[in-house]
Structure 1
């Protein structure tokens, strides 16, 4: 949107400037003044907005911009394919791989600090008040009418440099919050922090936010401060402390400090049960009549519930303690409702369980379907150990997994919302469902897992013996592994997902590698592409999470071993009996191609 140009003051009759004439207008006017075609004094907030108690918002100007210059050097600020994708527009869906993105009309923001550009910076619907020179490019659907324009919300007139702690809080909301949206949104939380001591929660947020950006030695200081404050003897034992603990344990788990993470998880579970966070009354009693805070308490319980299940499922070292708690907390609402403060009356687990039989046509929030998905994992974990191939309990859990997928409304069957933006809650819900399928069926499959025995980054090796042919359980795990690899192809930054995606990708990779190690695979080219996708995704996640770096190294190492074994087999002429010359050359070229890419990833280039 164009800024208003300065007007020359009227001259007097003799050619001099009349001192009584109006002063020149400012170079930019706020949106409210522009909409009313009124002059703006350029302050923040401006005089008119301050008088009317309206939100005062400025946007950057494109005045004087004549398009890109030709024959210039590479621009270090240029956005590449790994950066945040364009928003939805026209007939195409730019979140899908291969879609043709519409021409961007986003204004160029002057003074952008390229040191703050994070590889694979995720798209977020979080509404913030960022500043230039920091993580200032938030996509705000409420200001832009979902047109994808990037705006600067409430810029500071002096464009003051953010402090490192402020940058880390913004990083938390931009990167981490969409995957675990339990705390209050930034404006509400900072306001509440002025009324009560929330330093332990802010400290946890600062440390996790620092994992995504370069803050130097401050990261270690933030971690020590957060750990000290959550364990302080005088800290209030309430929902805010549970929130701080959940944030810390997720960061610790992703940083390969799983023992510390388990200790904090146990403390968070005990505290949540002690203060009865799992009851319907907690939100009302401790919400202070604030619908947003009441919703935050509901989200705190259910996010802890989901995290407890994820850790139990992917690491297989805890028992999903909270699954056995009879909770009657209301289910969370949709993310846009939480962001806007328009919180509807909550629905409950019994509503979700009875939706097929009640005759009521209801659509639950994505967060609610995420809760339903993790509950299926809890039911699976309560099965007796070492099931037999014809165990009816296995069939019962498979029915739950299939029913969860079949009864999703049309808008929830993919990980994109109606505006073709990533729905992280549904992404996690589908991710959990596919992971459950692998964990359930892998012990009963006939796909020998020994080739991937060294992939232990997330869980111990699960020994599975080879069989004569592929049974139905083998088909289930191969299908689930392929679906997980497809989730990488959403044209969104990988680091925008919860770090638990690391272990789900590792599960998928174990299945792919076990299949690739077979003597002959008829769809070997597709299999290579899926292995390539998983390794690339793990490599991207490793820029933030040490757990992903460890998994990436192990998966690459096993892939290289399988490749060399296959090469040794191929040196025997009997291996190629029945192959045409074209098929032989194609197979060898494809093998060499994927290994050159894996070697390049291993060397960090």
Structure 2
């Protein structure tokens, strides 16, 4: 299992100050070129390697490794229900690990496609009969509950079955919605009917969250990272769906490129799309304030923060000069602070922090200059109008108006 241990050390080394990832990356490259085995452990190795590359800003290479992982997973049959049973060595925990690996590969591929605009997958079987992952606390203690499929989850609203779906399952469902949006907006803008249908998926996801999933903590008061990611994916999905028709200023869109792909803006904008885009961006910013270390989150949060910042900066840039702006400025500061806090581990956060900060400084300087011009222009206009309204001769010298005694 040297290949899997090397991948774990490769990712883990990013969290150790002063430790280089290069030795582990070199060893992983040799495993990629000549895989020692073709089984689930090698798929897990490739997935971890891709995650490390992606967080390190090497997105093209990460996609290449993800494609290799997909090919291998399909070749060995990880997408079938039987694979875990046949290769789990009679251990329910090992079987659960194999199922989780298949679902994780799918979710990561969707996030790479949605967050970066780099489509890493050619195969997506959401109605796969690979059972869904259970709650992390059951996996940790080795008590695996009865198994269910994603098809059963989607039909849950129409049955009387009282099934407790895991946070991981809601994360998979969120990724499914993101995939729907990617498919719809790929290469063209969706029509109104498509937008309403996709919006309905996102709304239904939120409405059907049970009461136990409306908080970010589980029954043991431990932070629920799967639920956090599910909300993050849903908010990013909403931004992707609406931002093409929202009023986004070109400056912020073109300046920040660390995570997001080039954004084509629609020739016409709709105020409702702008509101929904801004709302989703604000939701991402609120995730920063949750009482848990930022570094414990997935590195994909970096991209969610970057996309949220693009929206905030665009909205701030478009605001009339004499208008409330403090809330937007605070959201931008909070996003930038979060990126800075993660930057010591993930290079993508360092890039994002630099670009968001630079764009914010440019907009601030521009608004400050314009605000000065507006102030003096309005001041002079008010003075001139006062002179026209008032006939008191005492005011005339103050207005510098020509009189019969002045040249």
244, 247, 270: which one aligns with 2:45: 244
Task: Give the gaps of 5 or more residues in structure 2.
Answer: 380-407
TM-score, structure 1 as length reference? 0.60
Q: What is the CA-CA distance between 1:460 and the residue it aligns to?
A: 2.6
Structure 1 residue aligned with 2:153: 352
The yes-or-no answer on 1:549 pairing with 2:342 is no
Measure the CA separation in 1 of the matches of 2:316 and 2:376. Answer: 16
Task: Tell me, yes or no, if the aligned pair for 2:260 and 2:306 is still in contact at 8 Å.
Answer: no
Task: Tell me, yes or no, if the aligned pair for 1:309 and 1:374 is still in contact at 8 Å.
Answer: yes
Measure the CA separation in 2 of the matches of 1:573 and 1:378. Answer: 46
1:322 partner SS: coil
Q: What is the CA-CA distance between 1:519 and the residue it aligns to?
A: 3.8
Task: Tell me, yes or no, if the aligned pair for 2:181 and 2:198 is still in contact at 8 Å.
Answer: yes
Measure the CA separation in 1 of the matches of 2:294 and 2:38. Answer: 35
Q: What is the CA-CA distance between 1:512 and the residue it aligns to?
A: 0.1
Matches within 5 A, 1:141-160: none
Q: What is the CA-CA distance between 1:451 and the residue it aligns to?
A: 3.5
The yes-or-no answer on 1:535 pairing with 2:336 is yes
The yes-or-no answer on 1:508 pairing with 2:311 is no
Matches within 5 A, 1:81-160: none
Structure 2 residue aligned with 1:394: 195
Task: Give the gaps of 5 or more residues in structure 1.
Answer: 1-197, 579-605
Matches within 5 A, 1:98-247: 198-214=1-17, 216-217=19-20, 219-233=21-35, 235-247=36-48
Residue range with higher mean Cα deviation, 378-387 or 532-541: 378-387
Matches within 5 A, 1:562-573: 562-573=363-374
Q: What is the CA-CA distance between 1:319 and the residue it aligns to?
A: 5.3
Measure the CA separation in 2 of the matches of 1:325 and 1:405. Answer: 19
Structure 2 residue aligned with 1:257: 58
Matches within 5 A, 1:372-451: 372-383=173-184, 385-387=187-189, 391-451=192-252
Structure 2 residue aligned with 1:165: none
The yes-or-no answer on 1:559 pairing with 2:398 is no
Q: Which of 1 and 2 has higher RCO (CA within 8 Å, sep 6+)?
A: 2
Q: What is the CA-CA distance between 1:228 and the residue it aligns to?
A: 1.6
Task: Tell me, yes or no, if the aligned pair for 1:452 and 1:558 is still in contact at 8 Å.
Answer: no
Measure the CA separation in 2 of the matches of 1:398 and 1:290. Answer: 41
The superposition leaves residues 84-116 of structure 1 with CA deviations (integer Å, 9 ceiling, x where unpaired) of: xxxxxxxxxxxxxxxxxxxxxxxxxxxxxxxxx
Measure the CA separation in 2 of the matches of 1:252 and 1:393. Answer: 34
Task: Tell me, yes or no, if the aligned pair for 2:235 and 2:284 is still in contact at 8 Å.
Answer: yes
Task: Tell me, yes or no, if the aligned pair for 1:449 and 1:510 is still in contact at 8 Å.
Answer: no
Measure the CA separation in 2 of the matches of 1:553 and 1:489. Answer: 21
Measure the CA separation in 1 of the matches of 2:121 and 2:28. Answer: 25
Structure 1 residue aligned with 2:283: 483
Q: What is the CA-CA distance between 1:573 and the residue it aligns to?
A: 4.0
Residues 1:325 and 1:467: Cα distance change in structure 2 (over 3 Å): closer
TM-score, structure 2 as length reference? 0.88
1:516 partner SS: helix
Measure the CA separation in 1 of the matches of 2:5 and 2:126. Answer: 29
The superposition leaves residues 155-194 of structure 1 with CA deviations (integer Å, 9 ceiling, x where unpaired) of: xxxxxxxxxxxxxxxxxxxxxxxxxxxxxxxxxxxxxxxx
Structure 2 residue aligned with 1:142: none
Task: Tell me, yes or no, if the aligned pair for 1:569 and 1:575 is still in contact at 8 Å.
Answer: no
Measure the CA separation in 1 of the matches of 2:355 and 2:24. Answer: 30
Q: What is the CA-CA distance between 1:260 and the residue it aligns to?
A: 1.6
The yes-or-no answer on 1:329 pairing with 2:142 is no
Matches within 5 A, 1:23-38: none
Matches within 5 A, 1:562-601: 562-574=363-375
1:572 partner SS: helix
The yes-or-no answer on 1:499 pairing with 2:302 is no
Residues 1:270 and 1:498: Cα distance change in structure 2 (over 3 Å): same
Residues 1:546 and 1:520: Cα distance change in structure 2 (over 3 Å): same
Q: What is the CA-CA distance between 1:229 and the residue it aligns to?
A: 2.5
Residues 1:339 and 1:577: Cα distance change in structure 2 (over 3 Å): farther
The superposition leaves residues 263-296 of structure 1 with CA deviations (integer Å, 9 ceiling, x where unpaired) of: 1111000001111101111110111110010000
Measure the CA separation in 2 of the matches of 1:576 and 1:537. Answer: 39
The yes-or-no answer on 1:371 pairing with 2:172 is yes
Structure 2 residue aligned with 1:152: none
Report how many aligned residue pairs link the two structures.
Answer: 377
Residues 1:266 and 1:320: Cα distance change in structure 2 (over 3 Å): closer
Residues 1:566 and 1:231: Cα distance change in structure 2 (over 3 Å): same
Q: What is the CA-CA distance between 1:321 and the residue it aligns to?
A: 2.6
Structure 2 residue aligned with 1:13: none
